[in-house]
Amino acid sequence: MQLTVVRHTQVDVPKGICYGVTDVPLAKEGVLALNDITEQFENKRFNAVFSSPLSRCRILAGKLAAGQSLMIDERLCELDFGDWEMKPWSEIYESEAGKRWFADYINTACPNGRSYMEMVHDLKSFLDDLKQRDYQQVVIVTHAGVLRILIALLENKTTEETFETALHYGEIRQFSLNVTR
C-alpha cells in the first residue's frame, strides 16, 4: 500500500509558540499554499483520504478528497502539550516540568498532556487498521509530530534521526506500508 502523507500548511501562530492540539487557523501563506498542493494531486486517484481532526489539516484534506469521503481520525492528531499549549517554548524550557520533559520527551508526558510514546502507540494502531483494508493508494494529511513517527516506523529511523530531519509546511512524503494477508 502506498501512503502519501502531507503536512498541513503554514499556521497563523507566532514563531516560538507551542501549539499541538490547539485548533489554530492557517496563515495567509498557508491558505495560498493549499492550491499549489492540490494541483500536485490533480488526476491522481486514491482509495481513501484521512485527516487529523484539526482544521489546519481538514481544510487541505477536504480539497484532496474532492468529492470522496474524508475520514477523520484522532490518532493522526499532533502531540497534546497540555498546560503548555499556546505558551512560549522559552517559558516551557525554563520550567522544572519542561526540563524533565526535554530530558526525556519520548517517555515523559506533558503536564495534563500526552507523551510521544502514546502517539507512537496510536499510530501503530492506525497503521494496523490500514493494513486490514484493500487500499492501494492512501492520502493522510497530518502534523510534523505524526510525520516524524511515520518516518521512524516506516523507514526504520531512530527518533533522534527524525528530529534532525527538517519538515516543512505542506511537505509531501511517500511511504510503502507492507501488507501481508
**Residues 82-125: tens digit of each pLDDT:** 999 999 999 999 999 999 999 999 999 999 999 999 999 999 99
pLDDT one-digit tens code per residue, 118-170: 999 999 999 999 999 999 999 999 999 999 999 999 999 999 999 999 999 99
In this prediction, what percent of the chain has a pLDDT beyond 90?
93
50: nearest Cα among 84, 22, 16, 77: 77
In this prediction, what percent of the chain has a pLDDT beyond 70?
99
8-state DSSP, 25: P
- In this prediction, residues 63-70 reach a mean pLDDT of 90
Burial classification of residue 142, based on how many CB atoms lie within 10 Å of its CB (0-12 exposed, 13-18 middle, 19 or more buried) = buried
Domains and CATH numbers, the chain: 2-140+149-176 (3.40.50.1240)
CA pair distance 123, 48, nearest whole angstrom: 17
**Global pTM exceeds 0.85:** yes
CA pair distance 143, 34, nearest whole angstrom: 15
Residues 6+ apart with CB under 8 A from 73: 50, 51, 52, 53, 126
